[in-house]
Amino acid sequence: MVGLAGFVDASAGGGGIIALPAYVFTGMPTHFAYGCNKFSSACGTTLSVIKFWSAGAVNLRSSLLAAFSSFIGSGIAASIVLRIPDHVLKTMLLLILPLAAVVIFLKKDMGEEDRSHSLSGQAVLFLSLLIGFLVGGYDGMFGPGAGTFAIFAFSSIMKYDLKTASGNAKIVNLASNYASLLTFALAGTVYYQIAIPAGICNIIGNYIGSA
C-alpha cells in the first residue's frame, strides 16, 4: 500500500490519502502511524526533489524560504500532535481525510505561464514564508493533501507555472516531512522495522510514478 501511495504521490499527488490510513488500519497507535508515515514519505519525497532539482524546475529563493518556514511550522504542529490523545487524533483524521481526498480529486489544472516576475521582492519573501509555514503546519498536523495545497498556493498566489510550482512544493514537503519525522523520532514514535521497508517501497513507487 505504501508503494502504491508513492506511485500515486509522484504521478498525481495525494499519496498520503492511501498511506496514513494504511498504517492506522494495521492497529498501531495513531502517533506511531504518523511517525511511520513521515519516514516513508520523506524517503519518497527526497527522490522527487532530486528529480525536480535536476530538471531545473525549482525557484531557488522562493522554495528555500518556504522550506525554512515549513520546517518550523511542521515541527510545531508535530509537537502538538504528540500531545493529542490517540482517540481524539483518530477522530480528527476521520474528519480531515475525506475532505482532503475531495480537494485532491477536484483539483484543476494550474496555469502553464510563469507570471511570478510581477511580484516584488518583498512580496516573494512574505508569501513564500507564509505559504511554507501554513503548508508545513498542515503537513505536521495531518499530512494528506499538503503537496496539492502547496502547488495551488505557488501557482495561484505566487503565479508560478505548474512545473515550478510543483518543484517548489516538493521542497516544502521535504522540509516539513523531515521536521515532523525528527519530532516523532525523538519522541520514539517510529516503528523502524515497519518504516524502513515501507520507505523503500515508497521510493520504488515514487520512481515508477515519476518515470
Q: What is the pLDDT along the chain (211 residues), one digit of tens a residue?
A: 554 555 455 544 556 677 888 888 888 999 999 999 999 999 989 988 998 899 888 999 999 999 999 999 999 999 999 999 999 999 998 888 888 877 767 665 556 677 888 899 999 999 999 999 999 999 999 988 898 899 999 999 999 998 899 899 999 999 999 999 999 999 999 999 999 998 898 888 777 765 5
Task: Give first-to-last CA distance, the chain, whole Å.
Answer: 19
DSSP 8-state secondary structure symbol assigned to residue 44: H
At CB < 8 A and 24+ separation, what contacts does 100-108 make? 100/14, 100/16, 100/17, 100/142, 100/144, 100/145, 101/14, 101/17, 101/144, 101/145, 103/145, 103/148, 103/149, 104/12, 104/13, 104/14, 104/17, 104/144, 104/145, 104/148, 107/13, 107/148, 107/152
* Number of residues written out for the chain: 211
Element (H, E) at 208: helix 192-210
Average pLDDT, the chain: 87
Map grid coordinates 528529480 to a residue.
Answer: 51
Residue 140 parent element (H or E): helix 121-141
Per-residue pLDDT reduced to its tens digit, 144-171 = 889 889 999 999 999 999 889 989 999 9
The number of folded domains in the chain is 1
Whether 129 and 68 have beta carbons less than 8 Å apart is answered as yes
Contact (CB, 8 A) for 171 and 49: yes
| Distance from C-alpha of 74 to C-alpha of 147, rounded to nearest angstrom | 13
Structural domain boundaries, residue 143: 2-210
Q: How far apart are CA 114 and CA 194, in angstroms?
A: 41
Query: DSSP label at 118?
Result: G
Rounded to two decimals, the pTM is: 0.88
Burial of 112 (0-12, 13-18, 19+ CB in 10 A): exposed
What is the per-residue pLDDT for 106? 67
